[in-house]
Structure 1
Amino acid sequence: MVNTTFFSFATNQNLNMVVKDGKIVSYNVHSIAMRGKDTFQYRHPFSSAIGITRKRMADVAWTFTDSAMKKPYAFQSVVAPLKDSLPMLSFKQALNYGASAKSKTAVPVSLQKWKVQTAVGGGPVLVQDGKVQVRNNEEIKFAGKAINDLHPRTLMGYTKDGKLIVMVIEGRHPGVAEGASLLQSAQIMAALGCTEALNLDGGGSSCMLINGRQTIEPSDKGLQRPVPAVFIIRQKK
C-alpha cells in the first residue's frame, strides 16, 4: 500500500482524479492556491495520472474529468497550460483544446476516453518514452525552486515488459536520508527501465506499507500522515 494523490490539508479533499473499479470517485481540481512551506498552485485542467486497464496494462496520461461524466478522458502527450483568465474548462472546450493548443511536443494531441479500471493522479510526469522528461513547466505543479529541493518522494511507473514500478524515497532526515529532487527521481525511474513514470504526493505523505510494515521512516516526526487515497496491491486468491 502506498500514498498517491495530492490533497487539501484543510478539507482532506483529493486534488487529483481517482478511478476505482472503472468509475471516477474523485475529480481533478482545476485551480487552487495553497500557502505554506510546500506552496504550489494548480492552474491546469489536464492533470497527469497513472492508470491500469482490465488487462493490467499501465498508462500515464494527462487526464480531464467532469462531474457530468462517469469516465475520464485523456491526452497521451503534454499540452500547454491555460491562461489565468480561463481557470475552468468545459468538456466541449476540452475536446477542442488539444487541436488548438501549441504543444511542446511534435505529437498531435487529441482527447480520448481513458479506459482504465484503476487510476490515481499526481504530477508532474517524470519519464516519457524511456527518457527523463520532467514536465513541471507544462503542468505547473511546483513553483520557483521547489523542483530542485530534496524531499521524500512517491513515484509510480511501468516498464516496456509491463512491470509496475512503485517507489518511495525517504527524506528530510539530515545525515541519514535527504530525499530526492524531481530530476533525481526521474533519473532513478528511467534507470529502472520505466517507459513512463509519474511523481505523486511526497513530503510527509510519502509512505509505503508491505504486509503492514513501514518501508521508510515518515518525515512527519516518524508518524504516518492521514491521506485520502492509497494504491493497494493484493495477491490474487
Structure 2
Amino acid sequence: MFIPKFISLLVFSCAALNAIAQHQWQNVDTAFGPLPSGIHVYRSTDPIDGKPSIAYYVRIDLANKARIVSARVGNGKRYTPTQYFEQESVKPVIVMNTTFFEFEHNSNLNIVMRDGQMLAYQQHSLPGRGKDTLTYRHPFGSAIGIDKRKRIDIAWLYTDSTRSIPYASQQPIPFFKDSIAKHSAAAMLEKGQFRKWKMQTAFGGGPVLLQDGQILITNNEEIKFAGKAIDDKHPRTAIGYTTDRQLILLVVEGRFPGKAEGATLKQEAQLLKEIGCIEAMNLDGGGSSCLLINGKPTITPSDKGAQRPVPAVLVGF
C-alpha cells in the first residue's frame, strides 16, 4: 500500500472468526508442473465451519523480475479461461477470472488496465428500482493494481473515459444516492481524497476484504453483496498480497452440497488473512470462478462443471 489507511469500519471480533479453524495448505506444485521459480500452488480440503470445502491459492513472487502479471480482454466477446489460454502463443502459467460483467454486451463492469491503459471502467451509476425508480446510487468500487516497479495496491477508484488515469482513494467512500444519472468528474472527485493511480495492470471487483492486515469488508459502501448477502455462500475468486510482494490468488469451489459448499465473504477474508495477506479483495465468483495452472483447472466450476465465458482474465507468466 502506498498511503497509510485510516478506516473507521467495523472490525469483526475474534470470537466471530474463531469458528473458522486455521486451514492447513498442502503444496501441490507437482500436480501442475513444471512451474517457474516464484510461482507455487497450494490446496486445502479442510472444512469451513464444519462444511466441506475445496480451495486453492497461488503465490506469485513479484519481487522475482521474471514474473509478469497482465490482463487479457475479449474486446466485446467472452471467452472461457481455457480459450484465453489457448489464444496465447506463449502459454501463461496462470489464468484466472476477474471482473464482474454484464451479459448483454459482454462488458466488464470494473476497471481493467493493461500496459498502463484503461480497457474498462468502474461503474459509478446504478439506477434505482421499485420505490427508488428515478434515483441513482453512485458507488466507488475497489480494484487491485500493480505499477511499473511491481508494487501492489488495493484502493477505491473513480474512473472516467475522458481521463487516461484512474483516481484512487485509500479510504472507502460510502455510495451516495440522488436523481442525477451521471455526475461530472469534478463532482465525483470531491467525495474523497483522491490521487492519480498510475498502474500498469489493474482489475476491479469488490468488495475489499482486508485492509492493513485486518478484516474490513466494504460490501455496503461498494454495494457489492450488501446487507445480509455478506453471509451468502458462493464459489469465490479473490486476490491479495503480502508485505513481501507475494501476489495471492484464491479460489474456493462451491455449490456442490456435501463436497464443496463455497464460502461467505467473512470466511473468504479469514482465509486470506491466514495466508498472510495485508490487503485483499473479492472478485467475480459464482459460476465465473476459475483458476487454471498451466492450462489445468483447479476447482470445478459450478455451472454444471463447465467454464463460464468471461470478458477479462488475469494472466501470469
Shift in Å, 1:86: 4.0
Structure with bigger gyration radius: 2
Aligned residue in 2 for 1:128: 211
Q: Does 1:22 align with 2:105?
A: no
- Equivalent residue for 1:115, pick from 198, 222, 240: 198
Aligned residue in 1 for 2:268: 185
Structure 1 counterpart of 2:265, one-letter code: L
1:11-50 equivalence runs, <5 A: 11-32=105-126, 43-50=137-144
- Equivalent residue for 1:9, pick from 103, 114, 117: 103
Contact 2:210 2:273 in 1 (8 A): yes
Once superposed, which parts of structure 1, at least 4 consecutive aligned residues long, lie more than 6 Å away? none
Q: Judge which range, 44-53 or 63-72, deviates more.
A: 44-53
Shift in Å, 1:179: 0.2
CA distance in 1, matches of 2:139, 2:117: 19
Q: Does 1:61 align with 2:155?
A: yes
Q: Does 1:157 align with 2:240?
A: yes
Aligned residue in 2 for 1:104: none
Question: Residues 172-204 of structure 1: CA distance to partner in whole angstroms, max 9, x if unpaired?
Answer: 011000000000001111111111000000000
Q: Does 1:96 align with 2:190?
A: yes
1:184-223 equivalence runs, <5 A: 184-223=267-306
Aligned residue in 2 for 1:76: 170
Structure 2 counterpart of 1:212, one-letter code: G
> Which 5+ residue runs of structure 2 have no aligned equivalent?
1-94, 130-135
Q: 1:222 to 1:147 in 2, by over 3 A?
A: same
Q: 1:47 to 1:23 in 2, by over 3 A?
A: same
Contact 2:127 2:181 in 1 (8 A): no
Structure 2 counterpart of 1:206, one-letter code: S
Q: 1:31 to 1:67 in 2, by over 3 A?
A: same
Contact 2:234 2:285 in 1 (8 A): yes
Aligned residue in 1 for 2:251: 168
Shift in Å, 1:145: 2.6
Q: TM-score, normalised by structure 1?
A: 0.87
Secondary structure of the corresponding residue to residue 282 of structure 2 = strand
Q: TM-score, normalised by structure 2?
A: 0.66
Structure 1 counterpart of 2:285, one-letter code: G
Shift in Å, 1:144: 4.3
Contact 1:72 1:113 in 2 (8 A): yes
Q: 1:87 to 1:183 in 2, by over 3 A?
A: farther
Secondary structure of the corresponding residue to residue 63 of structure 1 = strand
Question: Residues 35-56 of structure 1: CA distance to partner in whole angstroms, max 9, x if unpaired?
Answer: 9xxxxxx933421000001111
Aligned residue in 2 for 1:107: none
Q: 1:114 to 1:140 in 2, by over 3 A?
A: same
Secondary structure of the corresponding residue to residue 161 of structure 2 = coil
- Provide the aligned C-alpha RMSD in A: 1.7
Contact 1:65 1:71 in 2 (8 A): yes
CA distance in 1, matches of 2:100, 2:128: 12
Contact 1:50 1:59 in 2 (8 A): yes
> Which 5+ residue runs of structure 1 have no aligned equivalent?
36-41, 99-109
CA distance in 2, matches of 1:87, 1:80: 17
Structure 1 counterpart of 2:150, one-letter code: R
Q: How many residues align?
A: 217
Structure 2 counterpart of 1:78, one-letter code: P
Contact 2:158 2:189 in 1 (8 A): no
